[in-house]
Amino acid sequence: MSEVIVVTSGKGGVGKTTTTANVGAGLAMLNKKVVMIDTDIGLRNLDVVLGLENRIVYNLVDVVEGKCRLKQALIKHKKYPELCLLPSAQTRDKDAVTPEQMKELIEELKADFDYIILDCPAGIEQGFKNAIAGADRALVVTTPEVSAIRDADRIVGLLEANEMKQIDLIINRIRMDMVKRGDMLTVNDVCDILSIHLLGVIPDDEQVVVSTNQGEPLVGTNSLAGHAYQNICKRLEGEDIPFMDLDVKKGMLGVLKGLFKKN
């Protein structure tokens, strides 16, 4: 039985697309058949993050409008053949698709894939409604900032109102040094406000920017964020993985820097 997961956040720029790409790739690494659907019609970029933008011929809107077959629009990932992308259209807007059409599309994909991951656009309008229509499960991505948490809270409320079966939280871009200093909300603070199940914590990592620009998912590489995404994938698979210690030991240089900062 395939699982349909929507990655959403409300606020933009918190890492929905990055999370979609990495979770998708991570699950593919665990030998699962995965399809990612970019539902951000008009502002597509999941293809860019995955480094597949040059292969797009047909897109989501073409499929829905019957201009091509579903199989024609699916793009296989260059590294993981089990990983597919259904890109969105860049020339249209969110109203080009209805929630009913999305449901139909997802039903069709269920036959061939273990995981269907939907990358939701920011906001709570038509695009959001399309993205959540066929989903069984939601991953709410937030950063430890009050603005992102406020939006995430709204999203959780809307998901609950739409009877989403399972809602999990991913806290992205946390900086343990700032948390320690008391300049950033802690994981507990965020969980306290949102009161939903925590699926994973991703540390702020320079490598994320590098991997995005290169169009290579971070997951599987030897970076802190990469490990964190891998753990999330394993948890999605039902494994019980403890949360990792994000507190990296500072090198000599770091200690010196710290000393100077205090004075």
Partner 1 sequence: MSNEVVIKSNRSGLRLILDNETPFPELLKIIGEEFRQRESFFKNASMAISFEGKELSVEEEKKIMDVITENSSIQIVCIMDKDSDMEERMRLQAEAVRDYVLQENLAVLESMGGPADFYTGNLRSGQVLESPSSITLIGDVNPGAKIISQGNIVVLGSLRGNAFAGAAGDSSCFIFSLDMRPLQLQIGEYIAKSPDREKRGRRLLKKEKNTASSYTPQVAVIREGNICIEPMTKGCLDR
Binding site for partner 1 (CB under 8 A): 146, 150-151, 153-154, 156-158, 160, 181-183, 186, 189, 192-193, 195
CB of 157 to partner 1, least distance (A): 3
User: Is-contact 145 158, C-beta < 8 A?
Assistant: no
Tokens standing for residue 94: 């969110």
CB of 23 to partner 1, least distance (A): 24
User: Is-contact 140 168, C-beta < 8 A?
Assistant: yes
CB of 126 to partner 1, least distance (A): 17
Taking the least distance from each CB to partner 1, the nearer of 183 and 245 is 183
Taking the least distance from each CB to partner 1, the nearer of 182 and 251 is 182
CB of 141 to partner 1, least distance (A): 16
Taking the least distance from each CB to partner 1, the nearer of 183 and 240 is 183
User: Is-contact 9 120, C-beta < 8 A?
Assistant: yes
* Sequence-separated (6 or more) residues with CB below 8 Å from residue 173: 14, 15, 143, 144, 202, 203, 204
Taking the least distance from each CB to partner 1, the nearer of 126 and 221 is 126
User: Is-contact 134 35, C-beta < 8 A?
Assistant: no
CB of 160 to partner 1, least distance (A): 7
Beta-strand pair 3-8/137-142: parallel
Alpha helices in 16-59 (DSSP H): 16-29, 46-50
| Residue type (1 letter), 250 | K
Rounded Cα gap, residues 66 and 169, in angstroms = 36
Taking the least distance from each CB to partner 1, the nearer of 107 and 192 is 192
CB of 146 to partner 1, least distance (A): 8
Taking the least distance from each CB to partner 1, the nearer of 30 and 193 is 193
